[in-house]
Amino acid sequence: MMKLSRMFLVGFDGCTLKQGHWLRRALAGTPPAGVILFDRNIDGRVQNFSSATQLKELTTELATLTTGPLLIAVDQEGGRVCRLKERDGFAGTETAAELGQQSPEVSTLPAAEAMAAALAGYGINLNLAPVVDVNLNLDNPIIARYERSFGVIPETVAAHCQAFLQGHHNNGVACCLKHFPGHGSASGDSHLGFVDISKDWQEKELEPYKILLASCRVDAIMTAHVVHYGLDPSGLPATLSPVMINTMLRHDLGFTGVIITDDLQMKAISSRYGYKEAVQHAVLAGTDLLIVGNNLERDPDALEQGIAAIQELLDQGRVSEERIQESLRRIDLLLQFCTRRELFK
């Protein structure tokens, strides 16, 4: 029987998994591919950790509660977007914009080495970074505003991202490029709702992906919840679009690794699609690993509901077992990369 639970990366409440916690039960029975950790949830309360000691205790607990490999992921881009914050006693980090002002060898590589060494020490094996978006819209409320892009020149962005990947791989931590097909030109924030990039997006936003896929190992790529009617007239967000996932990313760019959705609970998705519908669209589009952060919303049944949604696709013949097995094989390879350090040497 296929392990459909392995197609999910889930968030959860709790600094420890007490008896009866839904994730504790899942890890013992139908474990997800992994978990995504947050320091604080949307209302500012501690979600998973608020100190280095607490974080290490949690990751150790997670590892002991499951018998197989487990992805333990965070968004640790650096600077203004990071989960391991100075306020909680973690080392400070620079933004991509700051690092991008120097050569990758001088700035980004040593910064990534230090960051990844810290992550590995805390038991984290997947960093949902770096941001590959080109900083084309200086008024962008979610990329430029938080200095998440390495720059305005695609080649510069690619060079710094390659250094970021190298620093992480040297320390046994996998990475995820984001946000495909490009969020740097957008004028809206997909956390808050519908974002249409049809008039703003530029072809050169694909250049960093092309360069990186041709020059180094790319573990995973995250999709954006953006709509581009020129690329896909259906109006489906990239995360749910077969044109952008299967055609552009898989076929045209030749990416064979894990495609990860951005959080399916973000308003760009949840305000327009029910959860089951979003899961099914994402799978039909060709994504492999679905993020359900349980940070913007709370749903302890999301994993079970997601599994049921994919099973329904199989039962109805809307997706083939072979297609699902392809995703599970890619995810298994990522799990190996994240749990066997020698594969990074």
DSSP states of 248-279 as a string?
Answer: IIIIIS---SEEEPPPTTSHHHHTTS-HHHHH
Q: Which residues pair with 74 in a beta bridge?
A: 127
Encode the chain (345 residues) as per-residue pLDDT tens digits.
689 999 999 999 999 999 999 999 999 999 999 999 999 988 889 999 999 999 999 999 999 999 889 999 999 999 999 999 999 999 999 999 999 999 999 999 999 999 999 999 999 999 999 999 999 999 999 999 999 999 999 999 999 999 999 999 999 999 999 999 999 999 878 787 778 999 999 999 999 999 999 999 999 999 999 999 999 999 999 999 999 999 999 999 999 999 999 999 999 999 999 999 999 999 999 999 999 999 998 999 999 999 999 999 999 999 999 999 999 999 999 999 887 643 333
**Coil vs helix vs strand at 221:** strand
Q: For residue 110, what are its two tokens?
A: 């040593």
Model confidence over 125-173: pLDDT tens digits? 999 999 999 999 999 999 999 999 999 999 999 999 999 999 999 999 9
- Options 262, 263, 281, 288, the catalytic residue: 262
Quick one: which of 317, 309, 343 has its CA closest to 7?
A: 309
In angstroms, rounded to a whole number, what is the distance separating the alpha carbons of residues 296 and 286?
24
Q: What H or E segment, with its residue span, contains residue 298?
A: none
Cβ count within 10 A of residue 203 = 8
Q: For residue 35, what are its two tokens?
A: 């978990």
Return the CA Rg of the chain: 19
Buried b (16+ CB within 10 A) or exposed e, 306-328: bbebbeebbeeeebeeeebeebb
In angstroms, rounded to a whole number, what is the distance separating the alpha carbons of residues 186 and 306?
29
**CATH level 2 (architecture), domain 14-338:** Alpha-Beta Barrel (3.20)
191 is catalytic: yes
Q: For residue 290, what are its two tokens?
A: 């679905």
Domain residue limits, the chain: 14-338
- Measure Cα distances from 185 to 136, 234, 274, 295 in Å: 5, 21, 28, 26
Q: Which residues pair with 177 in a beta bridge?
A: 221
- Options 13, 21, 191, 299, the catalytic residue: 191
Determine if the pTM surpasses 0.85.
yes
Measured between alpha carbons, how far apart are the two ends of the chain, in Å? Answer: 34
**Coil vs helix vs strand at 332:** helix
225 is catalytic: no
Amino acid at 222: M
